[in-house]
Chains A and B, each alone.
Chain A
Amino acid sequence: MSEPAAHSQVETSTPKELVREPLVLNNRPLGWITNQVAGIVEGDMPKWWNIAFGVSFLLMLMSFGYIGYLITTGVGVWGLNHPVAWGWAIVNFVFWIGIGHAGTLISAILFLLRQKWRTSVNRTAEAMTIFAVICAGIFPGIHVGRIWLAWWLFPLPNANAIWPQFRSPLLWDVFAVSTYFTVSLLFWYMGLIPDLATIRDRLRKNAGQCKTGLDKMINKLKQFLYGLFSMGWIGSNRHWRNYEKAYLLLAGLSTPLVLSVHSIVSFDFAVSQLPGWHTTIFPPYFVAGAVFSGFGMVLTLMIPMRTIFNLEEIITVRHLELMCKVIMATGTIVGYAYGMEFFIAWYGGNPYELYAFKNRAFGPYWWSYWIMISCNVISPQLFWFKWCRTSPWFIFVVSIFVNIGMWFERFVIVVTSLHRDYLPASWGYYSPTQVDILTFVGTFGLFMVLFLLFIRYLPSITIFEVKAVTPQADPHSIEGGADRVKGGDH
């Protein structure tokens, strides 16, 4: 934030300032950035994309198939029982929703905090958010016993004059998640407009290069569609002024949502009276966990992407390192929450709660608890070491651990609390069925399908924002302002 400010002072009287690592390496011209990002969209997709898309598509179809089986047969095809009436579906819901947190956090909160490094990653993170929320949204929809009546959760006027029950956290979920999804989508889409216009313009320019009639038609179609969605953006001063204002407003609007969505999701548990669920620490702990898992997923996606599309100079190691620091911080918060839950279970003097926590760690599901602890508490602590947080392949491995750990965290919360509650006579055990497992695996297919389409058709990095944080864009940069390097053809 203060980077350019200090510099305008008299240079001679102050010692030379330490130079921040630039956010775009190698002092690339601005046009290079546009070429690099828009090139992905304009060029043909490499072979791996087609393969990955095919596999993801099949996985997605598998998931839909299992959902069809579920709907036509009954919730019994899952492993649920009495007392464990929520299982993988809810675990997956919370897992995906959690992943959806990084995007808005990066876009909104970091924007408000003027963290410029966000520019290289925010588009992808936001897209990931939206796709993750889509995956998440499937589960509460299909987990109900009579799916064809799930619309009763919405406050729609009806002949019976029966409204939803506003005291239920599940209803709050409906509002929280749908609001979050809507705002995230708007925010993401708005941010896309200038870049969509750039692509539109480039398409127009490239039209002459089309050789065949088909190519021409495709070019026309693309021009039309990108033109449609760029809403007549011409980059005028007024456009930019309105854009900046709207973006700031949306960022302000999204910021509380980052905190509210997972707080409300945590209410599904915290508002109940079940030992292991009924905990006041849940809202902040869930939010921290969500950011933690969201960043984990962002890294999981971005590390391969930057390599494959040669974006190492835009998504630099510094970006990765900063995100590792967020992971380390939130991971530590999550670890603290785990510890605090145990402390309160003991300190609170409620034997049912104490039992629930002992049972988590040492009961029949001990393995899930210790997977969670290893992945969520231990693995992010490695980022204290600089080497660990600057080696992309290592970060990638840890980010996978984070994903696994956060899935298990939700599993531990949902299943271990339910399977042994108040009356030992009703204790039971829960195991997922093939349908549980493959439906979940298939949602990764859906996620990847959407993500691959995103890479294919939309600029995965915010071109205009990245340009704004290059040294060239800063007239006071000691690396040289706009006058030093001639701008590209943006």
Chain B
Amino acid sequence: MGDVENADWNEREFPEGAQELSDDFSRRDFLKLMGASAGLAGASMLGVGCRRPEEHIVPFGSEQVAGQEYVHGVPMQFATAMPTRTGATPLLAVSNEGRPTKVDGNANVAGRSATDQFAQASVLNLYDPDRARIYTFKGKAMPGGKASAIEKLQQNLSGRTAFLMPASTSPSRAALIGEIQKKMGENAAFYVHEAADFGVHARGAQAAFGEAVSPYWKLDQAEVILSLDCDFLGTEEGSARFAADFAKGRKVAKQNDGMNRLYSVEALLTQTGANADHRLRARATAIPAAAAFIAKELGKSVTVPANALSEAQKEWLTGAAEDLKAHAGKSLVVAGYRQPESVHQLAHIINDALGNNGKTVKFHKTPANEFGSLADLASDLGKFDRVVNLGCNPVYDGGTDVAVAGKSIVEKTAFRLTDYAEDESHSVKGVNAPRAHYLESWSDARTDDGTIVPIQPLIAPLFGAMTELEVLAVFAAGENTSPRTGHEVVQSTFTGDSWERYLHDGFLKDSGYEEATELTIANADVTVPPAQAEGLEAVFTLDYSVGDGSYANNGWCQEVPDPITKITWDNVVSVSRQTAEAAGLENGQLAKVKVGDKEVEGAVWVQPGQAEGTVGLALGYGRSGKLRIANFKYEGQAEDIPVGGYNAYAVRGSSAVNVAQNVSVESTGKAYPLSSTQEHWSMEGRPIVREATLKEFRKDADFVDHMGLGAHARNEGPIYQHPYKERPRLASDMHQWGMSIDLSACTGCNACVIACQSENNIPIVGKDQVAKGREMHWLRIDRYYTGRDHDPRASAGFIKDEGQNGDDEQHTEEWIDDPQVVNQPMACQHCENAPCESVCPVNATVHDEEGLNVMVYNRCVGTRYCSNNCAWKVRRFNFFDYNKRPINDLYGSTAMLKPSILTDWITSREKSNRPEDEWDLVKLAKNPDVSVRMRGVMEKCTYCVQRIESTKIIKKAAAGMSDDVQVVDSDGLKTACQQVCAAEAISFGNLLEDGSEVNREKANPRNYETIDFLDNRTRTTYLAKLRNPNEQMPDAYKKPFSTKEYKAASGGHGDDAHGDHEEGSH
């Protein structure tokens, strides 16, 4: 914080924390570690002047350090959970001296250490410098902070109050609401609002079975899966579990292993469609008809809307239905949240007809939703004196219909918990209170199977923030009674035996939902909504990167490339190639999207695989308020270029929340810069991702060895002696690390990318730097499109386009209409004959005895030669001081324009040029075990060497005098990407351990090295992707498209020597 700003801050009647924030010891405030690390605890849990009994949180990993609970410098783990819309993600959070820096899934609860990308990114939200820091009333700081906010609430407690809350499964919240309802009766009403409504799953089940149940998919039990616009690998809630279960059916190790098959019907190209064996493009409004068609094929009497489906589509659906029938009891039809209740109902009817219910899908008896919606609140608003908003943002995401009401809700808001110092729904007349992050909160929640998990804080609220439980507790306590703390509330709701065990393990045993069996279809009469045959329709989708907008101010989320488009920092208006042509839209131009009478301007993106006539509008962008990341403006950005994408909520009505009709798009002719991390889509027929169908694999298990130049070059043996073979003493006989990535299992979800970023202190660089190709991700996911009739030779000679964004011609090529998608996580390959090492003039990148290609940051002078010589281009260079300089001010010279920066830098290299408020927080998020790299230094994946070393240390400490110091799988060593991968696509471990997971994976015949002919001997190898097409389908294929492209590019040679002769089917 600059001096001027600081003075201003102090003048505001001494806001809470002003003293601390202005001096260098502000960190002290953040280091108030509670609980187990005694002495530090209890200082001021609830803010200044409010002494409370100590509240213990129980560390998870305390048994790791024998005899001690806390060892200085050793990170501790605590079990907690991140609440989601429909449940919670159980977590183990890592705390370094009281700073939570990383979260991992709690394998105790779910059996997996995996999470989705949002849980990984959520740590950064805790340290968001734009967070609300002070309590305000009518726009003025409240000197008393939390205490006066509570006082304000206590005035006139009996007034008619409407509570607007985000969705939650917290038993404590439910208990408090019960108490309030008892106490206040008619005077209190509760409304729940979420931008995306996943309640349709329960409603659909209730409609089908007539009971309050929710479906619980068991994808691992299903051999054939049909997704009806259900993005269970992407935007559906709980996608991590779905990905895990789905992947179980994709990992084929032996020729007689089974493999599941995924059919997907969808309008937008989703992660699920990208992983499907057969994919049908259909308009979103035609999907109910598709569901009805399948039901009819299975002998159900359903009316299929006329003209909704083309003959080709019907043929496809017939094929899929036949396959489902053939796998009755072992198949599953799932409907997505974007589809209306009728489609969900039909899915249940189809599953019932196939005998899948109870087998591949279970049902839980879940409490029915008894709360009203935002729309209900809007219409009931007159009945209330005031609104208490516990964290919703109705003005932003309420949609067009309630926008007016949203404003009036804000007018009436007497109290609001807010994430940001300023955002759309800020209360003007009431109290704005900082909302506590879940890592600062006491609460609880239920996971998707109903298991109760505790949410315990790892850090005292940074800005004295409040939780929703604390607010509700005020109402539950009533006037003149001091409210219970969050801790007390949660503990009072706890019903188990041991509170300590509950906090330690992070879940309450056997607290899951009761399973509903013997369900019968109560209502087979489904009215299928008609399809819109002509004109454009809009599909609103949660953004893969920022969700519904709650992660819009999170730098990691903004900069992670969208898994499909690979665009960062923006959302796009996606259209198919033909739709773009028909509407005169050009890629990268701003277009005016009109839905009904509302309009918004967004950048056009021609998206392969998208249904014709569909306009994809991603939610979550276009935020307003003082949000430095969500509204990031790079240096030199033209004034007329909008910041932060467009707000799709501005054209989203409450009646057509997911799919809207009456849509028009027209180009404005203005160009809009989009920053994509991958500009070229085609693999150019190169055998980089190797693929086969299951049938091919069964015929030729070693198919990977028959592809690529390596198949020929290998026979001769290497020209140069392998360094370890040459001098065996160089190699450790204890540990040799290796990694294997199963491309069949990888869904491309990005969780690993963000986990890596969080673990390894990887900076973000800003939209303009990404456009220049300077993103820093150590792990990226390469996404290629392959086409049925795409001959890479046709374009190899003449690449038509140039320019900063490159490869624009791809958007107009026909082969992209129905592409197959392949994903390939790409990070340092840790070559044994590493090409980067031999060219570094200063020995900054060298090999260690355990096979790691290590990067010595302190030695690196930054010649960048290593990057040039890396065939995978996985090395990342710090072109600027991304960590220390504000990313919207990278170009100013320190010497000439800002001499103070240079002198600062000379006198204290620790000092940053970032605004003080940003720097204070940003450095708290860093992993202390990983160096923060300065400018001019090359960096890259290290196989999480800090984790390897700490595991070795623990092992050595435990071994004492014994020789048992070899790290093996059972020691729990995992790289960050491996740990977070729900699909368990990444295996890492000691190659010298017999039967280690990584050795088992590498023994898989699908194992191959990318660009193997270079003889770099990569330690990271890949397992080829398998597809499981159905030969009876009209769009069947005998070879994956990429294999066809490879054969075409290698001029048919592959066919003669190795492959079988075949014509491209269809």
Contact = CB atoms under 8 A, between A and B. Distances in A.
A411 B136 CA distance: 59
A424 B871 contact: no
Nearest to B864: A85
B841 interface: yes
B869 A272 contact: yes
Given A82-B876, A85-B877, A358-B797, A76 B890 contact: yes
Q: Among B775, B861, B894, find the residue whose CB has the most chain A CB atoms closer than 10 A.
A: B861
Given A146-B936, A168-B839, A69 B826 contact: no
Given A76-B879, A83-B873, A355-B796, A146 B835 contact: no
Contact of B860 (A145, A365, A423): A145
Interface string B689-710: 0000000000000000000010
Interface stretch (B328-336, B755-763, B798-806): B798-806
Interface stretch (A206-214, A292-300, A427-435): A427-435
Contacts of B861: 144-146, 149-150, 152-153
A85 B772 CA distance: 12
Contact of B867 (A77, A83, A153, A359): A83
Given A80-B864, A146-B936, A424 B842 contact: no
Given A144-B861, A429-B804, A72 B1014 contact: no
B471 to A, nearest CB: 46
Interface string A336-364: 00000000000000111001001100111
A431 B824 CA distance: 28
Contacts, number: 219
A157 to B, nearest CB: 15
Interface in A408-433: 418, 420-429, 431
B472 interface: no
B872 A144 contact: no
A73 B894 contact: yes
B774 interface: yes
Interface string A43-84: 000000000000000000000000011011111110111111
A144 B843 contact: no
A351 B892 CA distance: 44
A82 B877 contact: yes
A239 B957 CA distance: 77
B841 A86 contact: no
Nearest to B1051: A351
Interface in A351-405: 351-352, 355, 358-359, 362-365
Contact of B806 (A272, A350, A362, A428): A428
A429 B676 CA distance: 12
A311 interface: no
Contacts of A73: 880, 890-894
A74 B806 contact: no
B419 to A, nearest CB: 32
Given A72-B895, A274-B869, A425-B784, A165 B803 contact: no
Interface in A140-159: 143-147, 149-150, 152-153
Most buried by A among B841, B894, B934: B841
Contacts of B680: 420, 424-425, 427
A74 B759 CA distance: 25
Interface stretch (A32-40, A169-177, A242-250, A252-260): A169-177
B878 interface: yes
Contacts of B780: 425
Interface residues of A, number: 63
B686 A424 contact: yes
Contacts of B682: 424
Interface residues of B, number: 80
B842 A153 contact: yes
Interface string B432-475: 00000000000000000000000000000000000000000000
Point out which of A76, A84, A143, A362 has the most chain B C-beta atoms below 10 A from its C-beta.
A76
B774 A162 contact: no
Contacts of A163: 843
B863 A169 contact: no
A281 interface: no
Interface in B1020-1063: 1049-1050
B773 interface: yes
Interface string A82-105: 111110000000000000000000
A427 B677 CA distance: 10
Given A83-B873, A273-B835, A429-B802, A72 B860 contact: no
B678 interface: yes
Given A80-B879, A358-B797, A423-B871, A165 B842 contact: yes
A69 B895 CA distance: 7
B806 A271 contact: no
Given A153-B861, A363-B799, A74 B881 contact: yes
A167 interface: yes
Contacts of A352: 686
A164 B868 contact: no
Contacts of B804: 429, 431
A171 B803 CA distance: 35
B792 to A, nearest CB: 9
B868 A145 contact: no
Nearest to A422: B871
Contacts of A268: 865
A368 to B, nearest CB: 11
B937 interface: yes
Contacts of A152: 842, 859, 861
B881 A168 contact: no
Interface in B850-899: 859-865, 867-869, 871-873, 875-881, 890-896
Contact of B894 (A72, A162, A170, A364): A72
A74 B880 contact: yes
A213 to B, nearest CB: 43
Given A144-B863, A274-B868, A423 B873 contact: yes
A428 B773 contact: yes
Contact of B862 (A72, A146, A164, A171): A146
B679 interface: yes
A180 B878 CA distance: 33
Given A76-B880, A145-B878, A82 B869 contact: no
B501 interface: no
Nearest to B863: A144
Contacts of B878: 74, 145
Contacts of B1010: 423
B1049 A351 contact: yes
B879 A86 contact: no
A145 B841 contact: no
A76 B774 contact: yes
B799 A165 contact: no
A145 B937 contact: yes
Interface string A257-277: 000000000001001111000
20 contacts: A69-B893, A72-B895, A73-B893, A76-B774, A145-B878, A145-B938, A152-B861, A165-B841, A171-B841, A351-B1049, A364-B803, A365-B802, A421-B873, A423-B686, A424-B680, A424-B682, A425-B780, A426-B678, A427-B806, A431-B804
Given A85-B868, A424-B684, 15 more contacts: A72-B902, A73-B892, A82-B876, A85-B865, A152-B842, A163-B843, A164-B842, A272-B868, A273-B869, A421-B873, A422-B1011, A423-B686, A424-B686, A425-B824, A426-B873
Kindly list the 9 A-B residue pairs having the minimum CB-CB distance in the complex, ordered from nearest. Answer: A145-B862, A145-B936, A76-B879, A81-B773, A425-B782, A364-B802, A85-B864, A426-B873, A72-B895
Interface of B: 678-686, 688, 709, 769, 772-775, 780, 782-784, 796-799, 801-807, 824, 826, 835, 838-843, 859-865, 867-869, 871-873, 875-881, 890-896, 902, 934-938, 1010-1011, 1013-1014, 1016, 1049-1050
Interface of A: 68-69, 71-77, 79-86, 143-147, 149-150, 152-153, 162-165, 167-171, 174, 268, 271-274, 350-352, 355, 358-359, 362-365, 418, 420-429, 431
